[in-house]
Amino acid sequence: MPGSWLGRGLVAGYGCAGDLGQLQGGAAWQMATKAETSVVNLAGLVQGIVLVTFPAASTIFTSPRFYGLSDTQYGAMFVPTVLVAFVTSLLGARLAERITTKRVYLAGLGCSLVAVGLLLVSALVDSDQAVAYPLLLAGTTFGGAGFGLTVPVLNTYAAVFHPAGTDAAVLVLNALVGLGTVLAPVFVAVLVRLGIWWGLAVLSAVLLTGLLAVSARLPLRTGITAAGDARRGRQRLHIPRRFWVYAVFSVCYGICETMNGNWSQLEMTRRFGASRAEPSLALAAFWAMATLGRVVFAAVGRWVPQRLTYRILPFVLVVAFLLAGHLSRGDAAAGIAVFGLAGLGCSALVPLTISFGQEELTAMSAAVAGGMVAFYQLGFGIAAFGVGPLERAGISLAEIFRGTAIVAAVLAGLSFLVVKGVPFAQPRRSRGDAARRL
Protein backbone atom coordinates (compact mmCIF):
# COMPACT_ATOMS: atom_id res chain seq x y z
CA MET A 1 0.00 0.00 0.00
CA PRO A 2 1.57 3.34 -1.01
CA GLY A 3 2.64 5.43 1.97
CA SER A 4 1.20 8.58 0.43
CA TRP A 5 -2.26 6.97 0.13
CA LEU A 6 -2.12 5.83 3.76
CA GLY A 7 -0.98 9.28 4.82
CA ARG A 8 -3.86 10.97 3.04
CA GLY A 9 -6.29 8.62 4.72
CA LEU A 10 -4.85 9.17 8.18
CA VAL A 11 -4.68 12.91 7.84
CA ALA A 12 -8.31 13.12 6.77
CA GLY A 13 -9.33 13.20 10.41
CA TYR A 14 -7.16 16.17 11.40
CA GLY A 15 -9.69 18.79 10.42
CA CYS A 16 -12.44 16.92 12.24
CA ALA A 17 -10.27 16.88 15.34
CA GLY A 18 -9.92 20.62 15.41
CA ASP A 19 -13.59 21.28 14.83
CA LEU A 20 -14.73 18.63 17.28
CA GLY A 21 -12.46 20.07 19.93
CA GLN A 22 -13.85 23.55 19.34
CA LEU A 23 -17.39 22.23 19.34
CA GLN A 24 -16.98 20.45 22.65
CA GLY A 25 -14.87 23.22 24.08
CA GLY A 26 -17.58 25.86 23.97
CA ALA A 27 -18.99 26.36 20.48
CA ALA A 28 -22.73 26.84 20.37
CA TRP A 29 -24.54 23.59 19.83
CA GLN A 30 -28.12 22.54 20.08
CA MET A 31 -28.47 19.36 22.13
CA ALA A 32 -29.68 16.34 20.22
CA THR A 33 -33.24 15.19 20.66
CA LYS A 34 -34.14 12.07 22.59
CA ALA A 35 -35.03 10.38 19.31
CA GLU A 36 -31.55 11.05 17.90
CA THR A 37 -29.71 9.72 20.94
CA SER A 38 -31.97 6.65 21.09
CA VAL A 39 -31.40 5.87 17.42
CA VAL A 40 -27.62 6.14 17.82
CA ASN A 41 -27.63 3.76 20.80
CA LEU A 42 -29.91 1.30 19.00
CA ALA A 43 -27.66 1.46 15.96
CA GLY A 44 -24.74 0.48 18.19
CA LEU A 45 -26.62 -2.59 19.42
CA VAL A 46 -27.62 -3.61 15.89
CA GLN A 47 -24.11 -3.05 14.54
CA GLY A 48 -22.79 -5.38 17.23
CA ILE A 49 -25.23 -8.08 16.12
CA VAL A 50 -24.40 -7.60 12.43
CA LEU A 51 -20.66 -7.64 13.17
CA VAL A 52 -20.85 -11.19 14.53
CA THR A 53 -23.57 -12.57 12.24
CA PHE A 54 -21.17 -14.21 9.79
CA PRO A 55 -18.63 -15.59 12.33
CA ALA A 56 -21.50 -16.85 14.54
CA ALA A 57 -22.61 -19.12 11.68
CA SER A 58 -19.16 -20.67 11.17
CA THR A 59 -20.34 -24.20 11.95
CA ILE A 60 -23.14 -23.79 9.39
CA PHE A 61 -20.75 -22.63 6.68
CA THR A 62 -18.37 -25.56 7.22
CA SER A 63 -21.04 -28.25 7.75
CA PRO A 64 -21.47 -30.77 4.90
CA ARG A 65 -25.24 -30.54 5.51
CA PHE A 66 -25.24 -26.89 4.50
CA TYR A 67 -22.53 -24.97 2.61
CA GLY A 68 -19.74 -27.52 3.04
CA LEU A 69 -16.96 -24.94 2.93
CA SER A 70 -13.40 -25.90 3.72
CA ASP A 71 -11.54 -24.00 6.43
CA THR A 72 -9.63 -22.16 3.70
CA GLN A 73 -12.84 -21.08 1.99
CA TYR A 74 -14.36 -20.04 5.30
CA GLY A 75 -11.30 -17.94 6.17
CA ALA A 76 -11.19 -16.38 2.69
CA MET A 77 -14.76 -15.14 3.20
CA PHE A 78 -13.38 -12.41 5.47
CA VAL A 79 -10.64 -11.13 3.17
CA PRO A 80 -13.05 -8.69 1.46
CA THR A 81 -14.24 -7.57 4.91
CA VAL A 82 -10.70 -6.67 5.89
CA LEU A 83 -9.81 -4.83 2.70
CA VAL A 84 -13.00 -2.79 2.51
CA ALA A 85 -13.14 -2.01 6.24
CA PHE A 86 -9.48 -0.93 6.11
CA VAL A 87 -10.15 1.54 3.31
CA THR A 88 -13.44 2.91 4.64
CA SER A 89 -12.15 3.38 8.19
CA LEU A 90 -9.27 5.48 6.85
CA LEU A 91 -11.22 7.48 4.29
CA GLY A 92 -14.58 7.86 6.03
CA ALA A 93 -13.73 11.34 7.31
CA ARG A 94 -12.88 12.57 3.82
CA LEU A 95 -16.11 11.10 2.52
CA ALA A 96 -18.05 12.95 5.22
CA GLU A 97 -16.55 16.21 3.96
CA ARG A 98 -18.23 15.64 0.64
CA ILE A 99 -21.61 14.10 1.47
CA THR A 100 -22.12 14.90 5.22
CA THR A 101 -21.72 12.64 8.22
CA LYS A 102 -25.38 11.61 8.19
CA ARG A 103 -25.13 10.26 4.66
CA VAL A 104 -22.00 8.30 5.56
CA TYR A 105 -23.93 6.79 8.48
CA LEU A 106 -26.93 5.93 6.27
CA ALA A 107 -24.61 4.45 3.64
CA GLY A 108 -23.03 2.26 6.31
CA LEU A 109 -26.43 0.99 7.45
CA GLY A 110 -27.35 0.34 3.83
CA CYS A 111 -24.19 -1.69 3.24
CA SER A 112 -24.90 -3.77 6.34
CA LEU A 113 -28.44 -4.39 5.11
CA VAL A 114 -27.15 -5.58 1.75
CA ALA A 115 -24.69 -7.87 3.58
CA VAL A 116 -27.36 -9.72 5.58
CA GLY A 117 -29.62 -9.76 2.53
CA LEU A 118 -26.95 -11.58 0.53
CA LEU A 119 -26.51 -14.03 3.40
CA LEU A 120 -30.24 -14.79 3.25
CA VAL A 121 -30.13 -15.29 -0.51
CA SER A 122 -27.16 -17.63 -0.15
CA ALA A 123 -29.14 -19.75 2.33
CA LEU A 124 -31.60 -20.53 -0.46
CA VAL A 125 -28.83 -22.13 -2.54
CA ASP A 126 -26.50 -23.41 0.20
CA SER A 127 -26.18 -26.81 -1.48
CA ASP A 128 -24.82 -25.21 -4.67
CA GLN A 129 -21.43 -23.97 -3.53
CA ALA A 130 -20.60 -22.45 -6.91
CA VAL A 131 -23.48 -20.00 -6.42
CA ALA A 132 -23.61 -19.68 -2.64
CA TYR A 133 -19.94 -18.92 -2.03
CA PRO A 134 -19.73 -15.84 -4.29
CA LEU A 135 -22.86 -14.55 -2.54
CA LEU A 136 -21.14 -14.98 0.83
CA LEU A 137 -18.04 -13.17 -0.45
CA ALA A 138 -20.20 -10.29 -1.65
CA GLY A 139 -21.97 -10.28 1.71
CA THR A 140 -18.77 -9.98 3.73
CA THR A 141 -17.58 -7.23 1.36
CA PHE A 142 -20.64 -5.13 2.10
CA GLY A 143 -20.33 -6.05 5.78
CA GLY A 144 -16.82 -4.60 5.85
CA ALA A 145 -18.07 -1.38 4.27
CA GLY A 146 -20.88 -1.18 6.81
CA PHE A 147 -18.45 -1.59 9.70
CA GLY A 148 -15.91 0.91 8.38
CA LEU A 149 -18.50 3.59 7.66
CA THR A 150 -20.88 3.20 10.61
CA VAL A 151 -18.79 2.59 13.72
CA PRO A 152 -16.64 5.77 13.59
CA VAL A 153 -19.75 7.89 12.88
CA LEU A 154 -21.65 6.40 15.82
CA ASN A 155 -18.79 7.33 18.16
CA THR A 156 -18.78 10.86 16.75
CA TYR A 157 -22.53 11.21 17.28
CA ALA A 158 -22.28 9.95 20.85
CA ALA A 159 -19.57 12.52 21.59
CA VAL A 160 -21.15 15.60 20.03
CA PHE A 161 -24.72 14.82 21.13
CA HIS A 162 -23.64 14.88 24.81
CA PRO A 163 -21.05 17.66 25.20
CA ALA A 164 -21.64 17.79 28.96
CA GLY A 165 -21.47 14.02 29.46
CA THR A 166 -19.40 12.61 26.63
CA ASP A 167 -17.66 9.88 28.64
CA ALA A 168 -20.89 8.32 29.92
CA ALA A 169 -22.67 8.63 26.57
CA VAL A 170 -19.93 6.90 24.58
CA LEU A 171 -19.50 4.22 27.24
CA VAL A 172 -23.22 3.42 26.95
CA LEU A 173 -22.97 3.27 23.15
CA ASN A 174 -20.03 0.86 23.15
CA ALA A 175 -21.52 -1.28 25.91
CA LEU A 176 -24.51 -1.71 23.58
CA VAL A 177 -22.20 -2.64 20.69
CA GLY A 178 -20.65 -5.26 22.97
CA LEU A 179 -24.08 -6.49 24.00
CA GLY A 180 -24.92 -7.02 20.34
CA THR A 181 -21.81 -9.17 19.85
CA VAL A 182 -22.89 -11.25 22.84
CA LEU A 183 -26.48 -11.70 21.67
CA ALA A 184 -25.64 -12.82 18.11
CA PRO A 185 -24.13 -16.25 18.95
CA VAL A 186 -26.85 -16.86 21.56
CA PHE A 187 -29.53 -16.18 18.94
CA VAL A 188 -27.78 -18.52 16.52
CA ALA A 189 -27.62 -21.31 19.12
CA VAL A 190 -31.38 -21.04 19.70
CA LEU A 191 -32.25 -20.71 16.03
CA VAL A 192 -30.09 -23.70 15.03
CA ARG A 193 -32.03 -25.85 17.48
CA LEU A 194 -35.24 -24.59 15.87
CA GLY A 195 -33.90 -25.42 12.41
CA ILE A 196 -33.86 -21.80 11.21
CA TRP A 197 -30.24 -20.67 11.66
CA TRP A 198 -30.82 -17.93 9.06
CA GLY A 199 -33.30 -16.27 11.44
CA LEU A 200 -30.52 -14.02 12.79
CA ALA A 201 -30.02 -12.54 9.33
CA VAL A 202 -33.77 -11.93 9.09
CA LEU A 203 -33.74 -10.18 12.47
CA SER A 204 -30.75 -8.06 11.46
CA ALA A 205 -32.42 -7.08 8.19
CA VAL A 206 -35.61 -6.01 9.98
CA LEU A 207 -33.67 -3.95 12.54
CA LEU A 208 -31.50 -2.30 9.87
CA THR A 209 -34.52 -1.45 7.74
CA GLY A 210 -36.22 0.16 10.73
CA LEU A 211 -33.08 2.12 11.59
CA LEU A 212 -32.75 3.41 8.04
CA ALA A 213 -36.38 4.52 7.96
CA VAL A 214 -36.19 6.35 11.31
CA SER A 215 -32.69 7.77 10.83
CA ALA A 216 -33.51 9.25 7.44
CA ARG A 217 -36.16 11.46 9.11
CA LEU A 218 -33.84 12.80 11.82
CA PRO A 219 -31.39 15.73 11.45
CA LEU A 220 -28.39 13.83 12.88
CA ARG A 221 -26.13 16.86 12.49
CA THR A 222 -22.72 17.04 14.13
CA GLY A 223 -22.01 20.72 13.54
CA ILE A 224 -18.57 19.78 12.25
CA THR A 225 -17.20 21.22 9.00
CA ALA A 226 -13.85 19.66 8.29
CA ALA A 227 -13.00 20.53 4.71
CA GLY A 228 -10.90 23.63 5.38
CA ASP A 229 -8.91 22.18 8.26
CA ALA A 230 -8.45 18.90 6.39
CA ARG A 231 -6.91 20.75 3.45
CA ARG A 232 -4.51 22.54 5.81
CA GLY A 233 -3.75 19.22 7.53
CA ARG A 234 -2.82 17.57 4.27
CA GLN A 235 -0.20 20.26 3.72
CA ARG A 236 1.53 19.47 7.03
CA LEU A 237 1.23 15.69 6.95
CA HIS A 238 3.73 13.85 9.14
CA ILE A 239 3.31 10.39 10.62
CA PRO A 240 5.56 9.97 13.70
CA ARG A 241 7.68 6.83 13.93
CA ARG A 242 5.97 5.91 17.19
CA PHE A 243 2.72 5.50 15.29
CA TRP A 244 4.05 2.28 13.78
CA VAL A 245 4.58 0.77 17.24
CA TYR A 246 0.87 1.24 17.86
CA ALA A 247 0.09 -0.09 14.38
CA VAL A 248 2.03 -3.33 14.92
CA PHE A 249 0.37 -3.74 18.32
CA SER A 250 -3.04 -3.40 16.63
CA VAL A 251 -2.16 -6.01 14.01
CA CYS A 252 -1.10 -8.51 16.70
CA TYR A 253 -4.22 -7.75 18.71
CA GLY A 254 -6.39 -8.30 15.62
CA ILE A 255 -4.84 -11.76 15.17
CA CYS A 256 -5.49 -12.70 18.81
CA GLU A 257 -9.08 -11.47 18.87
CA THR A 258 -9.98 -13.08 15.54
CA MET A 259 -8.59 -16.47 16.50
CA ASN A 260 -11.15 -16.47 19.29
CA GLY A 261 -13.96 -14.69 17.49
CA ASN A 262 -13.80 -16.67 14.23
CA TRP A 263 -12.33 -20.05 15.14
CA SER A 264 -13.54 -20.80 18.66
CA GLN A 265 -16.70 -22.53 17.47
CA LEU A 266 -14.84 -24.89 15.15
CA GLU A 267 -12.35 -25.65 17.92
CA MET A 268 -15.22 -26.44 20.29
CA THR A 269 -16.94 -28.70 17.75
CA ARG A 270 -13.98 -30.63 16.38
CA ARG A 271 -11.71 -31.04 19.37
CA PHE A 272 -13.83 -30.66 22.46
CA GLY A 273 -16.81 -32.71 21.25
CA ALA A 274 -19.23 -29.86 22.02
CA SER A 275 -22.97 -30.16 21.60
CA ARG A 276 -24.81 -28.05 19.02
CA ALA A 277 -25.37 -25.18 21.46
CA GLU A 278 -22.00 -25.13 23.27
CA PRO A 279 -19.92 -23.59 20.42
CA SER A 280 -22.25 -20.59 20.33
CA LEU A 281 -22.04 -20.32 24.11
CA ALA A 282 -18.24 -20.22 23.88
CA LEU A 283 -18.40 -17.37 21.39
CA ALA A 284 -20.96 -15.58 23.57
CA ALA A 285 -18.69 -16.04 26.60
CA PHE A 286 -15.79 -14.50 24.71
CA TRP A 287 -17.74 -11.39 23.70
CA ALA A 288 -19.51 -11.12 27.06
CA MET A 289 -16.23 -11.05 28.98
CA ALA A 290 -14.72 -8.62 26.46
CA THR A 291 -17.68 -6.29 27.02
CA LEU A 292 -17.70 -6.71 30.81
CA GLY A 293 -13.96 -6.15 30.99
CA ARG A 294 -14.27 -2.84 29.13
CA VAL A 295 -16.80 -1.55 31.63
CA VAL A 296 -14.92 -2.85 34.69
CA PHE A 297 -11.51 -1.50 33.70
CA ALA A 298 -13.02 1.88 32.84
CA ALA A 299 -14.68 1.95 36.29
CA VAL A 300 -11.54 1.03 38.26
CA GLY A 301 -9.22 3.22 36.19
CA ARG A 302 -8.77 5.73 38.98
CA TRP A 303 -7.47 3.04 41.35
CA VAL A 304 -5.69 0.61 39.00
CA PRO A 305 -3.16 2.37 36.72
CA GLN A 306 -4.08 1.93 33.09
CA ARG A 307 -0.45 1.25 32.23
CA LEU A 308 -0.53 -1.76 34.57
CA THR A 309 -3.78 -3.08 33.08
CA TYR A 310 -2.34 -2.69 29.60
CA ARG A 311 0.73 -4.75 30.43
CA ILE A 312 -1.14 -7.52 32.26
CA LEU A 313 -3.94 -8.29 29.79
CA PRO A 314 -1.70 -9.68 27.00
CA PHE A 315 -0.36 -12.26 29.47
CA VAL A 316 -3.96 -13.31 30.16
CA LEU A 317 -4.24 -13.95 26.42
CA VAL A 318 -1.05 -16.03 26.45
CA VAL A 319 -2.51 -18.28 29.16
CA ALA A 320 -5.86 -18.54 27.36
CA PHE A 321 -4.27 -19.62 24.06
CA LEU A 322 -2.07 -22.20 25.77
CA LEU A 323 -5.09 -23.66 27.59
CA ALA A 324 -7.21 -23.70 24.43
CA GLY A 325 -4.47 -25.58 22.61
CA HIS A 326 -4.16 -28.25 25.31
CA LEU A 327 -7.80 -29.06 26.06
CA SER A 328 -9.08 -32.31 24.62
CA ARG A 329 -12.33 -34.05 23.72
CA GLY A 330 -14.90 -33.87 26.49
CA ASP A 331 -13.60 -30.52 27.77
CA ALA A 332 -16.38 -28.43 26.24
CA ALA A 333 -17.32 -26.75 29.53
CA ALA A 334 -13.69 -25.88 30.19
CA GLY A 335 -13.45 -24.58 26.63
CA ILE A 336 -16.28 -22.12 27.28
CA ALA A 337 -14.43 -20.87 30.37
CA VAL A 338 -11.15 -20.55 28.47
CA PHE A 339 -12.71 -18.49 25.68
CA GLY A 340 -14.32 -16.32 28.34
CA LEU A 341 -10.83 -15.79 29.79
CA ALA A 342 -9.60 -14.82 26.33
CA GLY A 343 -12.39 -12.26 26.13
CA LEU A 344 -11.20 -10.72 29.38
CA GLY A 345 -7.66 -10.57 28.00
CA CYS A 346 -8.88 -8.74 24.90
CA SER A 347 -11.28 -6.39 26.68
CA ALA A 348 -9.44 -3.13 27.36
CA LEU A 349 -6.56 -3.38 24.90
CA VAL A 350 -8.17 -1.58 21.95
CA PRO A 351 -9.55 1.41 23.88
CA LEU A 352 -6.32 1.84 25.86
CA THR A 353 -4.23 1.61 22.69
CA ILE A 354 -6.23 4.44 21.14
CA SER A 355 -6.22 6.44 24.36
CA PHE A 356 -2.45 6.12 24.76
CA GLY A 357 -1.95 6.96 21.10
CA GLN A 358 -4.02 10.11 21.39
CA GLU A 359 -2.12 11.04 24.55
CA GLU A 360 1.29 10.63 22.92
CA LEU A 361 0.73 11.34 19.21
CA THR A 362 -0.86 14.73 19.70
CA ALA A 363 -0.02 15.91 16.18
CA MET A 364 -2.37 13.28 14.74
CA SER A 365 -4.64 12.46 17.66
CA ALA A 366 -7.82 12.40 15.58
CA ALA A 367 -6.28 10.03 13.05
CA VAL A 368 -5.15 7.54 15.71
CA ALA A 369 -8.55 5.86 16.05
CA GLY A 370 -9.01 5.34 12.31
CA GLY A 371 -5.46 4.08 11.95
CA MET A 372 -5.79 1.62 14.81
CA VAL A 373 -9.06 0.25 13.42
CA ALA A 374 -7.44 -0.14 10.01
CA PHE A 375 -4.42 -2.08 11.30
CA TYR A 376 -6.67 -4.15 13.55
CA GLN A 377 -8.44 -5.17 10.34
CA LEU A 378 -5.11 -6.34 8.90
CA GLY A 379 -4.66 -8.61 11.91
CA PHE A 380 -8.23 -9.81 11.48
CA GLY A 381 -7.47 -10.74 7.89
CA ILE A 382 -4.31 -12.65 8.77
CA ALA A 383 -6.12 -14.79 11.35
CA ALA A 384 -9.33 -15.21 9.37
CA PHE A 385 -7.59 -16.35 6.19
CA GLY A 386 -4.35 -17.82 7.50
CA VAL A 387 -5.77 -20.78 9.45
CA GLY A 388 -6.96 -22.69 6.36
CA PRO A 389 -3.57 -22.76 4.57
CA LEU A 390 -1.84 -23.72 7.82
CA GLU A 391 -4.19 -26.67 8.26
CA ARG A 392 -3.57 -27.74 4.66
CA ALA A 393 0.12 -27.71 5.50
CA GLY A 394 -0.54 -30.28 8.23
CA ILE A 395 -0.79 -28.01 11.27
CA SER A 396 -3.79 -28.79 13.46
CA LEU A 397 -6.16 -26.17 14.83
CA ALA A 398 -4.92 -27.00 18.34
CA GLU A 399 -1.33 -26.29 17.29
CA ILE A 400 -2.44 -23.03 15.67
CA PHE A 401 -4.09 -21.93 18.92
CA ARG A 402 -0.94 -22.79 20.85
CA GLY A 403 1.13 -20.96 18.25
CA THR A 404 -1.01 -17.86 18.62
CA ALA A 405 0.24 -17.71 22.20
CA ILE A 406 3.50 -16.54 20.63
CA VAL A 407 1.66 -13.66 18.97
CA ALA A 408 0.09 -12.84 22.35
CA ALA A 409 3.58 -12.89 23.89
CA VAL A 410 4.77 -10.44 21.23
CA LEU A 411 1.73 -8.34 22.13
CA ALA A 412 2.84 -8.42 25.76
CA GLY A 413 6.32 -7.21 24.81
CA LEU A 414 4.89 -4.45 22.64
CA SER A 415 2.66 -3.31 25.52
CA PHE A 416 5.78 -2.34 27.49
CA LEU A 417 7.13 -0.51 24.45
CA VAL A 418 3.85 1.36 23.96
CA VAL A 419 3.53 2.61 27.54
CA LYS A 420 7.18 3.70 27.52
CA GLY A 421 6.16 6.75 25.53
CA VAL A 422 3.03 7.56 27.54
CA PRO A 423 3.11 9.91 30.55
CA PHE A 424 2.76 7.93 33.79
CA ALA A 425 0.06 10.13 35.27
CA GLN A 426 -2.70 10.38 32.71
CA PRO A 427 -5.48 12.96 32.96
CA ARG A 428 -9.05 11.88 33.45
CA ARG A 429 -9.77 12.61 29.80
CA SER A 430 -7.79 9.56 28.76
CA ARG A 431 -10.19 7.23 30.51
CA GLY A 432 -13.03 8.91 28.70
CA ASP A 433 -11.23 8.53 25.39
CA ALA A 434 -10.65 4.86 26.14
CA ALA A 435 -14.35 4.30 26.65
CA ARG A 436 -15.13 6.43 23.63
CA ARG A 437 -13.14 4.27 21.25
CA LEU A 438 -14.20 0.82 22.51
CATH of the domain at 89: 1.20.1250.20
Verify that 51 and 171 share a domain, yes or no: yes
Res 24: pLDDT: 43
Looking at the structure of the chain, the number of domains it has is 2
Verify that 143 and 189 share a domain, yes or no: yes
Q: To 5 degrees, how large is the angle CA 230–CA 234–CA 237?
A: 130
Structural domain span for residue 117: 1-237
Verify that 233 and 245 share a domain, yes or no: no
Res 367: pLDDT: 62
Res 207: pLDDT: 95
Verify that 192 and 300 share a domain, yes or no: no
Verify that 232 and 245 share a domain, yes or no: no
Closest among 372, 373, 377, 438 to 178, alpha carbons compared: 438
d(CA 34, CA 99) in angstroms, rounded, equals 25
Verify that 431 and 304 share a domain, yes or no: yes
Verify that 251 and 107 share a domain, yes or no: no
pLDDT, one tens digit for every residue, the chain (438 residues) = 434 445 444 544 433 443 444 444 444 345 678 888 899 999 999 998 998 889 888 889 998 999 999 988 988 898 888 889 888 877 876 787 788 889 999 999 999 999 999 999 999 999 899 999 999 999 999 999 998 888 878 877 877 787 766 555 665 776 788 788 888 888 888 888 888 989 999 999 999 999 999 999 998 877 655 444 444 444 455 678 888 999 999 999 999 999 998 888 888 887 788 777 788 888 889 988 988 887 888 777 678 888 898 999 999 999 999 999 888 887 888 999 999 999 999 988 887 887 787 678 776 655 666 677 778 888 988 998 888 889 889 998 889 999 999 999 999 999 999 998 776 544 444 444 443 443
Verify that 257 and 224 share a domain, yes or no: no
d(CA 371, CA 308) in angstroms, rounded, equals 24
Domain boundary among 193, 209, 237: 237
Verify that 181 and 79 share a domain, yes or no: yes
d(CA 435, CA 427) in angstroms, rounded, equals 14
d(CA 184, CA 162) in angstroms, rounded, equals 29
Tell me how many helices (H) and strands (E) the chain has. 19, 0
Res 23: pLDDT: 43
Verify that 301 and 214 share a domain, yes or no: no
Res 215: pLDDT: 94
d(CA 78, CA 262) in angstroms, rounded, equals 10
Verify that 332 and 188 share a domain, yes or no: no
Verify that 82 and 216 share a domain, yes or no: yes
Res 401: pLDDT: 94
Res 365: pLDDT: 57
Helix axes 14-24, 365-392, angle to 10 degrees: 130
